[in-house]
């Protein structure tokens, strides 16, 4: 069972990192395995991929995650070509994976990663006040989680990195889960059950009871944390997606818009959970970052 779940997770990661161009290694500089934290003696890492010709001074945090499974082997610089071509520096974050770690534990990894990157921004010549975040599926969910819950660190923290903010300034992602308690239809529970039963390990033991799922579902669903201060957010989602229903994106964008957030949904007619020729759509994500990080509108 664990092996099959990992295979599914790997597929979900792969859907959003497929090679998108003939970009060569000479077009970017890759720094592998930067350690941003440790968990039970195991290093948490990210790769930094920098454009060689033009650095625009802005960073995009890429969630390497599918089914809340993350792997260094899934980091694919060629898949980030649209961002690199416009001068963005990519921080490809690998987090602790299910089944060993739960979504709540993974969330803490991402807070830590963003704080670490912000604290060391000068090292990679990026603006510490303007970060974008992106990913697909579980990576999209984690992107929205940071968009809604990223915030100030602890001023009195012993570690200076933990004093930094984990907030991001723009979100653009693919087909993210947003509300595990209303999954596809109102009242549909997917907290490790139903459609997402194969991902139960990611939800942990709190998903064993109905009461536990209700509490956990609210805690890990980005839709319950939307405020008027949320950064500009773009979601691209296929209307034939069976794993993550498009209703997840629709309800999220509707709620965000009602609260005055600049939020947009682009629907891909007939598309399922990932599709061929996603380059055009990654370009749309890049347009969003150009406008809302750099102030450059196409």
The rounded mean pLDDT for the chain is 92
pLDDT band at 179 (very low <50, low <70, confident <90, very high): very high
Considering only residues 7 and 264, tell me which one the structure prediction assigns the higher pLDDT: 264
Percent of the chain with pLDDT over 90: 85
> What domain count does the chain have?
1
- pLDDT of residue 9 exceeding 60: no
Average pLDDT over residues 236-248: 98
Q: Does 174 map to a domain?
A: yes
Mean pLDDT of 223-240: 98
248, part of any domain: yes
267: exposed, middle or buried (Cβ count in 10 Å: 0-12, 13-18, 19+): middle
Residue 297 lies in a domain: no
Least confident of 42-46, 242-246, 274-278: 274-278
Q: What is the pLDDT of residue 27?
A: 85
pLDDT higher at 23 or 263: 263
pLDDT value for 297: 83
* CATH number for the domain that contains residue 30: 3.40.50.1820
- Residue 298 is predicted with a pLDDT of 74
User: What domain range includes position 16?
Assistant: 2-292
Residue 5 has pLDDT above 80, yes or no: no
Instruction: Give the tens place of pLDDT for each residue, 85-96.
Output: 999 999 999 999
The reply to whether 61 falls in a domain is: yes
The per-residue DSSP string of the chain comes to: -HHHHHHHHHHHHHHTS---S---GGGEEEEEEEEEEEETTEEEEEEEEEESS---S-EEEEE--BTTB--GGG--GGGGHHHHHTTPEEEEE----TTTS-HHHHHHHHHHHHHHHHHTGGGGT--TT-EEEE-BTHHHHHHHHHHHH-----TT-SSGGGGS----SEEEEES----TTSSSSTT---SSSGGGGGGHHHH-GGGGSHHHHHHHHHHH-GGGG--TTPPPEEEEEETT-SSS-THHHHHHHHHHHHTT--EEEEEETT-BSB-S-THHHHHHHHHHHIIIII----
Q: Which of 90, 102, 113 is nearest to 38 (CA)?
A: 113
């Amino acid at each position: 069972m664990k092996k099959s779940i990992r295979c599914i997770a790997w597929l979900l990661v792969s859907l959003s990192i497929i090679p998108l161009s003939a970009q060569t290694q000479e077009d970017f500089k890759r720094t592998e395995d930067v350690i941003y934290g440790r968990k039970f003696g195991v290093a948490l890492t990210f790769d930094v991929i920098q454009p060689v010709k033009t650095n625009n001074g802005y960073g995009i945090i890429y969630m390497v995650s599918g089914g809340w499974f993350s792997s260094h082997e899934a980091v694919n610089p060629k898949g980030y070509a649209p961002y690199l071509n416009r001068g963005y520096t990519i921080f490809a974050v690998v987090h602790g994976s299910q089944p060993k770690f739960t979504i709540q534990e993974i969330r803490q990894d991402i807070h830590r990663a963003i704080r670490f990157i912000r604290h060391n921004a000068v090292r990679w010549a990026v603006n510490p006040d303007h970060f974008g975040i992106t990913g697909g599926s579980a990576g999209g969910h984690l992107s929205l989680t940071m968009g809604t819950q990223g915030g100030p660190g602890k001023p009195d923290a012993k570690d200076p990195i933990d004093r930094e903010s984990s907030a991001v300034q723009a979100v653009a992602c693919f087909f993210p889960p947003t509300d595990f308690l209303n999954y596809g239809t109102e009242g549909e529970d997917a907290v490790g059950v139903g459609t997402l039963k194969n991902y139960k390990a990611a939800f942990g033991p709190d998903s064993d009871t109905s009461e536990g799922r209700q509490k956990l579902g609210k805690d890990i669903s980005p839709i319950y944390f939307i405020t008027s201060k949320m950064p500009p957010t773009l979601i691209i989602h296929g209307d034939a997606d069976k794993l993550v229903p498009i209703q997840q994106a629709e309800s999220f964008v509707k709620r965000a818009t009602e609260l005055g957030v600049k939020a947009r949904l682009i629907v891909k007619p007939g598309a399922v959970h990932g599709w061929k020729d996603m380059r055009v759509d990654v370009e749309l994500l890049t347009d969003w970052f150009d406008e809302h990080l750099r102030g450059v509108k196409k």
